[in-house]
Amino acid sequence: MQHQTLVVAGALAAATLAIAAAEKPTARQGGAYHVAAGKTYNIEAHDHARLLQKFAELEEMVPAEVVDDHAAAIRFNTEAAKKSYARLAKSAPANAALVKMVEQLQERLDKVTAALKHLEALAAKTAADAKVVIARTEEISRHLQANHKALRKIDDDFYDSNSDSYYETGEGHFVD
């Protein structure tokens, strides 16, 4: 009797593990990481664009070193986000909707890079006109905010934001 109970318990444990593995395959787990990483980089890039805009709102001219510092941070985070999104697409190549959404994310980040190049060219001498800096950072913010909204849709596929563990365990700590 005791041997049968152990066999049943073992079979039940194996079945539970098999179901858990089937629910979240390795590619899906990798995808969840790349969503979180991409969102984190996207948020960091947006934070630097907002900081640069705040500076520009206080001055008539923005010194080149201020533009360069924030542009470098935006560029780093934009490139890192692009890499994360590319890995996300590779984690589920058969998911056409996901691949298309990643392409849209990448296109927006390319627009961010183009706006950065323009901003850096303006500041290359000694300073950039604050009005132009504000216009460019607003453009950059629009693209990054659009990415953030799109990523919420992708994120819902990987995380349950209504679960208790979403905030308490850090499962969703990258999402805000």
Question: Which range of residues forms the domain containing residue 148?
Answer: 25-168
Within-domain flag for 33: yes
User: How far is the first Cα of the chain from the last one, in angstroms, to the nearest whole number?
Assistant: 52
Q: How many domains is the chain partitioned into structurally?
A: 1
pLDDT grade for 63, boundaries at 50, 70 and 90: very high
Within-domain flag for 78: yes
Tell me the average pLDDT across 74-103: 91
pLDDT grade for 66, boundaries at 50, 70 and 90: very high
Query: Which domain CATH number covers 42?
Result: 1.20.120.660
Number of helices followed by number of strands (H, E) in the chain: 6, 2
Contact 160, 136 (CB under 8 A): no
Quote the pLDDT of residue 23.
Answer: 44
SS (H, E, C) 40-63: HHHHHHHHHHHHHHHHHHHCCEEE
pLDDT grade for 126, boundaries at 50, 70 and 90: confident
Within-domain flag for 104: yes
Instruction: Give the predicted TM-score (pTM) of the model.
Output: 0.74
Question: What residues contact 153, with CB distance under 8 A and at least 6 apart?
Answer: 101
Question: What residues contact 157, with CB distance under 8 A and at least 6 apart?
Answer: none
